[in-house]
Structure formats: C-alpha cells, structure tokens
Amino acid sequence: MTTGLLTSSINNLFQKKLSKPTEPNITKYKTFNKLYNTTSRQLKIRYYDEVFNSNKHNIKQTWIELRKLLEKQNDKNICPDFFIINNKKVTDKTEIAELCYNYFVNVGKNVQSKIPKQN
C-alpha cells in the first residue's frame, strides 16, 4: 500500500469517527491507526538497521546518516551576524574577532583576580 493510500485511509476513517462517532467507527479508526503506527515503527527500525549495518565500517557515512536522522545540518560555517557585547550591538567581523581574542587572552587573568588569596 502506498503512502497516499495509507494517509487517505487514515483521514477517511478519522473523518468518519468525527462526523459519526459510533462505536464501530471509533473502533475501526483506532484499530487501523494502531496497526499503521506499529507497522511504521517496524519499517523505520528495519530501514535504519539496514543503513547502519551497511555502513558499519564507514564512520563518515555513519555520521552522515546520524545527522540526517537527527535532521542536523552541517553548520560549521554558520556564524551569527552580530554579537551584543557590553550592551552594544557589534556587526563588524574584525571588531568581533578582536573582542573575542581579547576576551580569551584575558580570561585567565580575570578569573585569577577574582579568586581570593589565601594566607
């Protein structure tokens, strides 16, 4: 059965359940919906089992499939357009780079100055 037919069947049964909420209509919908969800889960499990078994020796492809599964895009090159530093919106990339550099260069000194000295 195609996806279209399944969707159509679910929609038709759901509409019947809503328009004529008799016990047989509700039972038909619940039975079909349960069967559909169970079958769908089993097919997804089988699909991903095959995908990961076929790529078990290819770590790069495994990670590609995991990202697809998690719907995660490759966002290595994504950088915000601006930063708010000291309540000021900074958009110039050079200035952002300099501010980040200064922050990380001085972070050790700043943390150390906040630690109370012990006698």
Conformational region of residue 86, where left means phi above 0, alpha means psi within -120 to 50, and beta covers everything else = left
Give the residue extent of every domain in the chain: 3-70, 83-114
SS3 of residue 90 by DSSP: strand
Residue 2, both tokens: 């195609």
So what's the pLDDT on residue 1?
55
Average confidence score pLDDT of the chain: 84
Helix, strand or coil, per DSSP, at residue 83? strand
User: Would you list the DSSP string of 13-80?
Assistant: HHHHHHHS--HHHHHHHHHHHHHHHHHHHHHHHHHHHHHHHHTTT-HHHHHHHHHHHHT----TT---
Model-level pTM? 0.47
Confidence of residue 58 (pLDDT cuts 50, 70, 90): very high
